[in-house]
Structure 1
Amino acid sequence: MHRSNIFQLGIKELRGLLRDPMLLALIVYAFTISIYTASRAMPETLNQAPIAIVDEDRSPVSTRIVSAFYPPYFLAPALISQHEMDVRMDSGVDTFALDIPPNFQRDLLAGRSPTIQLNIDATRMTQAFSGGGYVQSIVSSEVSEFLSRHRTNTVLPVELTLRSRFNQEMNKGWFGSVTNVIMAITMLSIVLTGAALIREREHGTIEHLLVMPVTPTEIMISKIWSMGIVVLLASAFSLFVIVEGLLSVPVEGSIALFLVGAALHLFATTSMGIFLATVAGTMPQFGLLLMLVLLPLQLLSGGVTPRESMPEIIQFIMLAAPNTHFVILAQTILFRGAGLDVVWPQFVALLTIGSILFAFSLRRFRKFLR
């Protein structure tokens, strides 16, 4: 191999990327706007949920219940009639609708067990699951305090001292922003290398390369380093400017060590992108194939949900995926501040998987050029 050939071919790939406004827009969006919105709009958090209350009792206890719902978990309750409740739920105005029946306070004081109806718009799944528990807890607390005639603090026999490590503010936005940087690295590395190869095939420039004194290995390495360096620089920019600067998310560990791990991960995923491009004939086919491959990789790698909650067979299979080890590596470094003495197994795993994927993709790439 000639290093000058690899360098010049890589420069050619970068020039081709600069002439593709759609890919440039995707890179900018994935490492800026997407990171910011992921931090500011975590869907599993109950925040400003719209709730309506039908107060058919209009008693002191029902008034206590109405006044107990307030921001940031809920919007100020809308007092509506029973007829409006179904209409508002059907139109998606309210996520929760609470119906307090007539004579609710009288039945409480008489020792009966009155029933309150709670309607939940389950199409808003994440808020519905967590919000139902919030509503039940609030109603039970207000009713108990009303019956006891005063507010009391429950004295527990054991005092639990909570120590939150790595995210002292319990801010889910911190987790969302860093996780989306990790996911964007995987997605863009596969997309850019695959698109670069298909773009040459569609433009007919691949035939020009075949008559030049360059080898398939040089062509493949040039695509890997050029697209990999773009993703690596974009991820570094996102961590320094968007995550630490704009969002003020504290990064515990060494970003330099994380970028070294990201480079190993890019070695594997860019090779995977070239392999997918040799299987797909056109860009639409590559997009469909990408959906079949990228979604399982992202969802089952442990970045979205913990790997421990998945079936054991899935955990075992996903050990062959590079982004599983990259997610472990990235979270351990960026969230917990670990060093190389902790994450070296993931470095070795990424190097091994990357070498296997590179050899497999190079074999397929040589057949593709024939």
Structure 2
Amino acid sequence: MQSLTNIYRLGIKELWGLLRDPIMLLLIAYCFTLDIYTAATATSDSLHYASVAVVDEDDSPLSRQIIQAFYPPMFIKPVRLYSMDEVDRGMDTDQFTFSLNIPPNFQRDVLNNRSPEIQLNVDATRMGQAFVGNGYITQIVNGEITEFVNRYSATNSLPVGIQVHTSFNPNLTRSWFGSVMEIINIVTTISIILTGAALMREREHGTIDHLLSMPVTPFEIMMSKIWSMGLVVLVSTWISLLVVVHAWIGVPITGSVALFLTGAALHLFVTTSMGIFMATVAKSTAQFAMLFILILLPLQMLSGGSTPRESMPEFVQNIMLLAPTTHFVELGQAILYRGAGIEVVWTSFVWLLAIGSVFFVFSLMRFRKSIVSMGS
């Protein structure tokens, strides 16, 4: 009971220390609010109000039908007609992202099966819109030409029709995916920063010497930092999930929030232990920051949150099974998107518990050694 009391009181001390750090409080507030909203809504990789300039040298019903097919929200409406010189100047001055040149006699050549060509110019400096818009415009032009030709010739339709049903995100809304993935990234980032910064602050301010003179063990000191900083991140995650993601952005939460927070607590057990381990390895705050970046980037990029793990090399997939973010992303997507229960995500829970136990033991050994060296 005395050990639990020490862990509790030391944890309260950590919370009071955090409350007296306005910069850290501001960082937490920003990351769990505006950062999540920005990541979900401002970095869209879909086509949205792209500018298209058209040079219509045919002026036929088919060319006008193609021009009218470009409508919001993918393209700016109305699409205006320009001369070739105006289009060239507009592309050079970053006025247009796309320019479409419909040649003379285009409709006549199409109806006579002469395979005319339409020129599509793309401003590739706008990589996001250029890559996606190229495919959109090609599909639109081909679809309008096919519809137009079918009015004048008999067609043989395929005997099979494909019906596409999109599950879990019917409108393919990117904010639904981006907001939840950003929460997962922020949980990892902030938990490592808080625990690592708490230990670095003890070392730099000299308060670690006061702890060594008290009747407390390294285990109690480490556990107090884990539960206090983990609690801050867990409460922030709960509030952000309900207020920012669900109420503000409008993402429907299908599964159990309590089950997701349980998985988040296991993930925090791992990441807070990692933060303490990194703080014992680093000799200064600058070294801790460099080590933090070195570890955080592969944890986030190779976890399966940005790209499917199946698309990665098999060697990377196997290595990342030892990373906690892999299993946290897996259970987060399963619970919040697909409404999965414990019978589906229990393997991820077991993985996190096992990884957390290993990290905790190694961190405790390193922390005890570090405290002994500082005391001597």
Report if TM-score (shorter chain) is over 0.5: yes
The alpha-carbon distance between structure 1 residues 42 and 158, as it changes in their structure 2 partners (threshold 3 A), is farther
Mapped to 2, the partners of 1:327 and 1:156 lie a distance apart of 41
Structure 2 contact 40–178 (Cα < 8 Å) conserved? yes
Contact kept? 2:44, 2:174, Cα under 8 Å: no
Greater alpha carbon shift after TM alignment, 228-237 vs 93-102:
93-102
User: 2: distance between equivalents of 1:169 and 1:109?
Assistant: 36
Alignment of 1:184-195 (within 5 A): 184-195=186-197
Instruction: Report the Cα offset of residue 212 of structure 1.
Output: 2.3
Partner of 2:231: 229
Residue 99 of structure 1, CA deviation = 2.4
Provide the secondary structure at the position in 1 that maps to 2:72. Answer: coil
Task: Flag structure 1 segments of 5+ consecutive residues without an equivalent.
Answer: none
CA contact (8 A) 1:42 1:172 kept: no
SS at match of 1:2: helix
The 10-residue stretch of structure 1 (150-159 or 184-193) with the greater mean CA deviation from structure 2: 150-159
| Alpha-carbon displacement from aligned partner over 1:289-335 (angstroms, at most 9, x marks no partner) | 22211111111111111111111111000000011111111111111
Give the whole-Å Cα distance in 2 for the aligned partners of 1:78 and 1:279.
Answer: 62
> How many angstroms apart in 1 are the aligned matches of 2:47 and 2:241?
27
How far residue 103 of structure 1 moved from its aligned partner, in angstroms, is 4.2
Deviation of 1:367 (Å):
2.7
In the superposition, the TM-score normalised over structure 2's length comes to 0.90
Unpaired segments ≥5 residues, structure 2? none
Distance 1:341 1:169, change over 3 A: same
- Contact kept? 1:42, 1:173, Cα under 8 Å: no
Instruction: Specify the alignment match of 2:287 in structure 1.
Output: 285
Return the offset for 1:127.
Answer: 2.5
Alignment-derived partner of residue 173 in structure 2: 171
The equivalent residue for 2:318 is 316
Aligned partner of 1:273: which letter?
Answer: G
Are residues 363 and 138 of structure 1, via their aligned partners in 2, closer, same or farther at CA, if it must alter by over 3 Å?
same
Q: For the residues of structure 2 that align with 1:80 and 1:123, how far apart are their CA atoms?
A: 22
1:37 aligns with 2:50: no
Q: Could you tell me how far apart the structure 1 residues matched to 2:236 and 2:155 are?
A: 51
Trace 1:292-307 onto structure 2 (pairs within 5 A).
Answer: 292-307=294-309
What amino acid is aligned across from residue 235 of structure 1 in structure 2?
Answer: T
* Cα RMSD after superposing both structures: 2.3
Identity of aligned pairs, percent?
A: 59
**Corresponding position: 1:10 with 2:11:** yes
Work out whether 1:113 is the aligned partner of 2:92: no
- The code of the aligned residue for 1:28 comes to A
Aligned residues: 370
Residue matched to 1:212: 214
User: Which letter maps to 1:219?
Assistant: I
Contact between 1:166 and 1:335, CA under 8 Å: does it hold in 2?
A: yes
- For the residues of structure 2 that align with 1:25 and 1:55, how far apart are their CA atoms? 55
The residue number in structure 2 matching 1:358 is 360
CA distance in 1, matches of 2:212, 2:33: 38
Change (3 A) 1:346 1:145: closer
1:153 CA drift (Å):
10
Q: Comparing 304-313 with 70-79, which one deviates more in the overlay?
A: 70-79
TM-score w.r.t. the length of structure 1 is: 0.92
Does the C-alpha gap of structure 1 residues 266 and 64 become closer, same or farther in structure 2, counting only changes over 3 Å?
same
